[in-house]
Structure 1
Amino acid sequence: MTDYGRPVEFGYFLVPNAGDPLLKLASVADDLGLDLLGVQDHPYQRRYVDTWTLLGMIAATTQRIRVFPDVACLPLRPPAVLAKAAASLDLLSGGRVELGLGAGGFWDAIEAYGGPRRTPKEAFEALGEAVEVIRAIWSGERNRRFDGTHYQLKGAQSGPVPAHPIELWLGVSGPKALALTGAKADGWLPSSSWATPDKLPGMNARIDDSAAEHGRRPEEIRRLYNVHGTVTAESVEQWVEELTDLAVGFGMDTFVLWAEGEQEPQLRRFAEEVVPRVREQVAMERGA
């Protein structure tokens, strides 16, 4: 049993299909009181609108929900410019932006769009360098320098400074990348499709060990979870039980619904029927 005691939060995973009512769904999530709205980032997918353009539109047409790429495609998003974009949107939205980051994976499609084809070792190295570059650009300091294999800063003038300390979440799975998360990231952002519940204890342990090695407390690191499935009237009770167990038994603290099928009814059922009961159940079990 693992429970880091962090407050539970809830979000919605938006697939940026150009033909879908994206801004309406975002507004519904905002009105329903969800904490976060994540947008997957696959620039090479012809049916999708651009993730950062959509995030900007969502931030401009909502009031309180926080937005983030789930996760940004690093090989097609130069980290210094990505950091600038995130800081700018955070400033313009009043501090409502976080940053999910991935090393990349669909290499044929990435290469087709002019990006680099990287080996697993190169992708990990680039991700670690990107974390350093992003932090430097958020610092607001002048004459920033970084000499990496994949990325460099040569006297960069950083800024603007974000409106709030943007959290950097890594969507990673390998042992070295999990260790990087424990050492340098603010959160871990896996999906239930590949980080199934039975794998979470071992993966969290790798993050925790690395955090301890670098003088950090494991509870400093947010544990998000993209939960893939269908929310029906008949499955509400199962959702409540499973998300509560993931929070108090597996250490996950932030649940982002990735719904299959018709979106708005499931979004409403999740926010209105599942979320409040999970909050109540987690509080009760922690109190007990």
Structure 2
Amino acid sequence: MDMHDLWFGAFLSPEAEGRERLLRHVTLADRLGLDLVGVQDHPYQAGFLDTWTLLSVIAARTERIRLVPDVVNLPLRPPAVLARAAASLDLLSGGRVELGLGAGAFWDAIAAMGGRRLSPGESIEALAEAVTVLRALWTPGDPVVFEGNHHRLAGAAPGPFPAHPIGIWIGAIKRRMLELTGRMGDGWLPSSFYSPPGAVARQAKVLDAAAEDAGRDPAGIRRIYNVGGTFSPLPGRGFLDGPAALWAEQLTELVFEVGMTGFVLAPGEDAERDLRTFAEEVAPAVREAVAKERGEPEPVAERPVTLTPLDDLDETGRPHAPKQDPAALTPEQLRLGRHLVQVHDGYRQELRQVQDAVEQVAAGHADTGALRSAINRLSVRQNHWTLGTFCATFNRLLTVHHTIEDESMFPAVLERDSTLAPVVKKLEQEHEVIAELLDRLDAACVALLADQAAIEQVRAEVDRLVRVLSSHFAYEEEELVEPIARLGIRI
């Protein structure tokens, strides 16, 4: 079995319109201790940031997370130039770059950008030649001469040389690409969106056979699985649909049955909650289970997570009630339980809009000294007013939600199951903490109307509220979704 260290990461979409949110998620992933960030590469997508430019900014904003184009669109990235770019970023980032490669797809879009339209066979041949070019230019020695059908070097000098051996991870699904990966790749990058667990297990066998035929140890090929799913208190029917414990169980199974050595999460709508759950609950559980099976010492975190504890909520003092097996619940009961999550998801979306509004105001700040400053200042004042109104609206809606819980849902829960009293009491206490945080945010928004410098205080209050609400909602769902379903309580 593969003995690579397990890596966990975030697969983020490089949408230009959501760039501030994207960078916020990147820095969060770094602070949470995730191992890598993967960024897809679609140069023909007008709404996407350029992947290499974005990775350079990510490198400057982070300290330790690895950077992976997931995967490079090779027909629009000449391998000789790509070799220089990857080596340069590896040097500048302190050896944090790995290189995902793809043979190409969406050929109409590639051709529209001036790329060559290749047949499947030609694209695979071109990728194999590109791997040769990359490695030649990363190896000290004489100028390189290479004559391929698709790529050529006529005495190109090697260098610059990466700070560490950059892994070439190939995105492969079909047989010929899998065989190429087995022969030449340092790693394999499948995705659950195209290769669900059953398919990826079959694909792994093709890769293993090709590696063995080439005289390579299949276990030496790192296997990183891009995955997506839904975190919910009750298990669903699909892959990675349920609580963190279910995720850990399914991913651990892939480590042992397929040889996976890493998992990169494409978060859902509530990206911050998903990344926290993945880093703080799923990844440690998988590492612990794998270490136990391998007979290794229990894994120890390489670095402390630098996030400030949520002292307001006293997370360590939260009571927990016993749960019944969700398998005994009917579909209608499960629907009732999941409704609480749906309600919370609405407020998570509202809070993301508050965060985005804060970043828009901050971006307007930078323009106040630019040309036509009077217009910019007027725009900033309008943005400040909009933000203040939005904050007040969100505060009012959330307060109504918590009042409904305190005066309606909680009594109904206690009436039918008194053992939940400690949990309900704790939730009510947390509602009071959240009300205080909302008051602080409202005051910061009011101050922002008069003083542009107050944007930093607004940002700090929003960030704190996001963390507290994320923790509170997760605790409430963990403790109440199953009882709401079991007791037939309608929200």
- Say which SS state the counterpart of residue 116 (structure 1) adopts: coil
- Say which SS state the counterpart of residue 68 (structure 1) adopts: strand
Q: What does 1:100-119 align with in structure 2 at a 5 Å threshold?
A: 100-119=100-119
CA shift, 1:172, in A, is: 1.1
Structural RMSD (CA): 1.3
- Say which SS state the counterpart of residue 126 (structure 1) adopts: helix
Greater relative contact order (CA < 8 Å, ≥ 6 in sequence): 1
- The alignment-based identity, stated in percent, is 55
2:129 counterpart residue number = 129
Q: Deviations over 1:105-163 (max 9, x none)?
A: 11111111111111111111111111111111111323101101111000001101100
Q: Which runs of 5+ in 2 are unaligned?
A: 235-241, 297-491
> Which protein has the bigger helix share?
2
Distance in 2 (alpha carbons) for counterparts of 1:6 and 1:61: 27
1:17 counterpart residue number = 15
Using the size of structure 1 for normalisation, the TM-score is 0.96
Q: What does 1:262-277 align with in structure 2 at a 5 Å threshold?
A: 262-277=270-285
1:183 counterpart residue number = 183
- Say which SS state the counterpart of residue 259 (structure 1) adopts: coil
2:165 counterpart residue number = 165
Out of 4, 7, 21, the residue aligned to residue 6 of structure 1 is: 4
1:60 counterpart residue number = 60
- Say which SS state the counterpart of residue 11 (structure 1) adopts: strand
- Determine if contact 2:187/2:223 at 8 Å carries over to the other structure: yes
2:245 counterpart residue number = 237
- Determine if contact 2:201/2:257 at 8 Å carries over to the other structure: no
Using the size of structure 2 for normalisation, the TM-score is 0.57
Q: Which letter does structure 2 place at the counterpart of 1:245?
A: E
- Say which SS state the counterpart of residue 266 (structure 2) adopts: strand
Distance in 1 (alpha carbons) for counterparts of 2:176 and 2:15: 33
Q: Deviations over 1:80-124 (max 9, x none)?
A: 101110000001111000000000111111111111111111111
Q: How many residues get paired?
A: 286
Distance in 2 (alpha carbons) for counterparts of 1:286 and 1:192: 26
Q: Which letter does structure 1 place at the counterpart of 2:273?
A: P
> Bigger CA drift: 126-135 or 227-236?
227-236
> Bigger CA drift: 94-103 or 267-276?
267-276
2:200 counterpart residue number = 200
Q: Which letter does structure 2 place at the counterpart of 1:90?
A: D
Distance in 2 (alpha carbons) for counterparts of 1:18 and 1:246: 34
Distance in 2 (alpha carbons) for counterparts of 1:42 and 1:231: 28
Q: Deviations over 1:30-65 (max 9, x none)?
A: 000001100000111111111000000101111000
1:95 counterpart residue number = 95
CA shift, 1:14, in A, is: 0.9
- Determine if contact 1:51/1:69 at 8 Å carries over to the other structure: yes
Distance in 1 (alpha carbons) for counterparts of 2:5 and 2:66: 16
- Determine if contact 1:232/1:266 at 8 Å carries over to the other structure: no
Q: Deviations over 1:213-237 (max 9, x none)?
A: 2221111100110012223455212
Q: Deviations over 1:168-206 (max 9, x none)?
A: 000012212111111111000010111121122322122
CA shift, 1:286, in A, is: 2.7
> Bigger CA drift: 210-219 or 265-274?
210-219
Q: Which letter does structure 1 place at the counterpart of 2:68?
A: F
Out of 257, 260, 264, the residue aligned to residue 249 of structure 1 is: 257
> Which protein has the bigger strand share?
1
Larger Rg computed on CA atoms = 2
Distance in 2 (alpha carbons) for counterparts of 1:233 and 1:269: 12
